[in-house]
Amino acid sequence: MTPQPLAGIRVLDFCWMIAGPLTTRLLADLGAEVIKVESMARVDRIREVGVQPPVPQAETNGVFNDCNVNKKSILLNLNHDRGIQLAKALVARSDIVTSNFTPDRMDRWGLGYKDLKLVRPDIIVASMPVMGTEGPRSSWRAVGNGVIAMAGLNAHTGFEGRPPVGLGTLHSDFTSPYLGALQIVAAVHHRNRTGEGQFIELAQYEATVHLLDTELLECLVNGREPGRRGNSSQQYAPHGVYRCSRDDRWIAIAVRDAAEWQSFCRVMGLETLAGRVELSTLEGRKKAAPEIDAAIETRTMPADAWQLADALQASGIPASPVENVGDLVGRDSMHQGFIEEIQHPAGVSMLLQHEPINWNGERLPLERAPFLGEHSDEVFRGLLGLDTDELAEFAAEGVLS
């Protein structure tokens, strides 16, 4: 049986959209009981926007089902005083509380860290505001493309002399969760050793700045703005993406040193370039990059990207076909249980992705995302002991909506 290291840990999840829910999905995948708090007054927008199946409906939205597998869902109106009371009662029976609203939203509900410590002193509270809780931009709102732009990724993507280019994917929404889950698991470990709770703040902006990698270090170490370099590299040459046969097929190639340069030229049939002494050094190859790139494309354009990548790899040259999403889903490398087909109760078949984690050769368990409020009765009866009459009273007052 696949280990569930977070079994017995309960998470009260107020997150919505992508980054927050993906963080708690990671916890759920590792065995935590994650209770997603939703409301008819403000339905999680990701149920309704984004990747929709051919017959759109909120319960089968592709993004929502990816972000919220292995969770429970309850309906709770936090704009109602008795809704806040029930939320605090659930906090008293939980280990972790998560949110990704603007910094003051939970405080205005009376569900900030100071409030929740009074309910449960060892509570772990994780907040994932876009810009953090302090500073002049802490109240700023943004979705993934805005975070990427503010964090400098757009400015360093594209070609010299041309406008910045978006990454094409919402990097911050899908990378920040791994840092968030790591911090939460560390806080659980800390509490197990010391009995102390924790307030965790993960600013999605700061988490995304880390993706700048060597571009950020160039400025920190040398005070230089690295600019846009397209597909080139400061460390390797040639280093680029080259057109292959068939429409929109390309291969990525990197040559790391003089020995690889000789091997590369042999495989590619570029013996004339291999014999030029000035191209035996990195600086020489970088200086002659336009000439070298043009020569490479005379060899790549008639070639199949996958066959050429195999040939280069066999000679120790880093090379990869530029795969699109259809390639990824169809390749043998993705057939080791990464994609799983489930039959959704809404009457459709869905393909869902596992986390890229194997425990003793097994994938982590995968259960479909919940219907809106699907587990309200189970949670309020089982955790809070509410009976039928009490549930009816709360429902009549609009608390459970």
Six-digit token pair at 326?
Answer: 């259809």
Query: Which CA distances in Å does 380 have to 100, 115, 285?
Result: 24, 21, 68
Are residues 160 and 99 part of one domain?
yes
Could you tell me where the DSSP H helices lie in 301-353? 305-314, 325-330
Q: What is the CATH number of the domain that holds 69?
A: 3.40.50.10540
Q: How many domains does the chain have?
A: 2
Are residues 173 and 60 part of one domain?
yes
Examine the fold and report which residue of 289, 321, 353 is the final residue of a domain before the chain moves on: 321
Spatial distance between the Cα atoms of 129 and 206, rounded to a whole number of angstroms: 10
Q: What range does the domain containing 90 cover?
A: 10-211+336-396
Please, are residues 196 and 190 in contact by the beta-carbon 8 Å criterion?
yes
In a domain, 369, yes or no: yes
Q: pLDDT by residue (tens digit) across 117-153? A: 999 999 999 999 988 888 888 788 777 678 888 888 8
In a domain, 1, yes or no: no
pLDDT the model gives residue 142: 78
pLDDT the model gives residue 27: 98
State the pTM of this model. 0.92
In a domain, 232, yes or no: no
Are residues 207 and 262 part of one domain?
no
pLDDT the model gives residue 1: 67
Enumerate long-range contacts of 378-381, CB under 8 Å, 24 or more apart: 378/72, 379/35, 379/72, 379/74, 379/90, 380/74, 380/86
pLDDT the model gives residue 334: 59
Residue 50 confidence (pLDDT) above 90: no
Are residues 259 and 165 part of one domain?
no
pLDDT the model gives residue 74: 99
Name the more confident of 346 and 190. 190
Q: Which of 51-65, 74-88, 219-233, 275-289 has the lowest mean pLDDT?
A: 51-65
Residue 333 confidence (pLDDT) above 60: no
Six-digit token pair at 384?
Answer: 């809070």
pLDDT the model gives residue 332: 58
Are residues 341 and 306 part of one domain?
no
Q: pLDDT by residue (tens digit) across 106-126? A: 999 999 999 999 999 999 999
pLDDT the model gives residue 148: 85
Are residues 204 and 60 part of one domain?
yes
User: Mean per-residue pLDDT for 29-41?
Assistant: 97
Q: pLDDT by residue (tens digit) across 321-331? A: 999 988 888 76
pLDDT the model gives residue 338: 84
Q: What is the CA radius of gyration of the chain?
A: 26
Confidence of residue 58 (pLDDT cuts 50, 70, 90): low
